Amino acid sequence: DPGDEVIISDPCFVVYEAVVRIVGATPVFVAVREEEDFRLIPENVEKSLTTKTKLIILNSPSNPTGGIQYKEDLKGIAEVARKHNLYIVSDEVYETMLYEGMHHHSIAAIKGMRNRTVTVNSFSKTYAMTGWRIGYAVGTKEIIDQMIKLQQYTMVHAPAVSQRAALAALNGPQDFIEQMVTIFDERRRFLIPRLNEIEGFRCPTPKGAFYAFPNVEGLGKLSKDMAQILLQSGGVAVVPGSVFGEGGEGYLRLSYAQPLDKLEDACNRIEK
């Protein structure tokens, strides 16, 4: 309802704030900090609640930070949600892209959370099907029925060919996923140390997704200005952290969904 409040991490994927505002609700941003591995801390969530709070949006692994929510974090957030009768939207599109022995945990699997969680996922990342534009949501029948009504009068339905391709992906061999994550990890292990060699860059090590999120405050420029300089002078496209919220200022987002030779070339250009 108009005036309802939704808890969102800051920085966060840009769509969350827009969707919340479109339906007339109010986003309430909770900072996720580099020194805390960009995790949404349960105590900070609870401090941000009001009588108008209805929903918490989670994203783990995170776009843009590459941070993940630990199991204990999720247990704490679940406790907050149950205590204050809140719902959760859990965006888990990067669930298979984890490194350093990390494991994915879904908040819906925690006792008492299945009926108050909508889990959102996609074929774009795990199955590299970005152009097929297909995903899915899992929740209670009551909630999903309302979502179907909304979709019916906006997008109508997903294309039949995309649905068949998604079924083929789900039912087909899955061993390539591990191979793909291994390749991403190889790129990650090259990119992060290499960025940290560049003057003015300080890049934390992401534990999930396929993004580096270096801190560039040492360069003394706004992130949007730095992104423009890199594009115009170096031919390297990055995303300014400021587009992901106030907490993203001073950072840049780089994707390592590119071959190693291109990542190496990009780093060399950035350094120059």
Average pLDDT for 69-79: 98
Q: Which residue has the tokens 């934390």?
A: 204
pLDDT of residue 153: 87
CA distance 89 to 138: 10
| DSSP tag of 110 | S
CA distance 49 to 29: 11
Per-residue model confidence as pLDDT tens digits over 177-189: 999 999 999 999 9
What kind of fold does domain 5-171 have according to CATH? Aspartate Aminotransferase; domain 2 (3.40.640)
In the chain, list all ranges with CATH 3.90.1150.10.
175-271
Mean pLDDT of the chain: 97
Full DSSP string of 16-73? HHHHHHHTT-EEEEEE--GGGTT---HHHHHHT--TTEEEEEEESS-TTT-----HHH
pLDDT of 155 strictly over 90: no
Q: Which residue has the tokens 């840009």?
A: 14
In the chain, list all ranges with CATH 3.40.640.10.
5-171
User: 109-118, 148-157, 178-187: lowest mean pLDDT where?
Assistant: 148-157
CA distance 173 to 132: 19
pLDDT of 87 strictly over 90: yes
pLDDT of residue 100: 97
pLDDT of 238 strictly over 90: yes
Q: Which listed CATH number (3.40.47.10, 3.30.1490.190, 3.90.1150.10, 3.30.360.10) goes with 175-271?
A: 3.90.1150.10
Q: Locate 184 and state its tokens.
A: 């991403």
The pTM (predicted TM-score) of the whole model is 0.96
pLDDT of residue 133: 93
Strands 5-10 and 53-59, sheet pairing: parallel
pLDDT of 73 strictly over 90: yes
Q: Locate 123 and state its tokens.
A: 């074929």
Q: Which residue has the tokens 């949600």?
A: 81
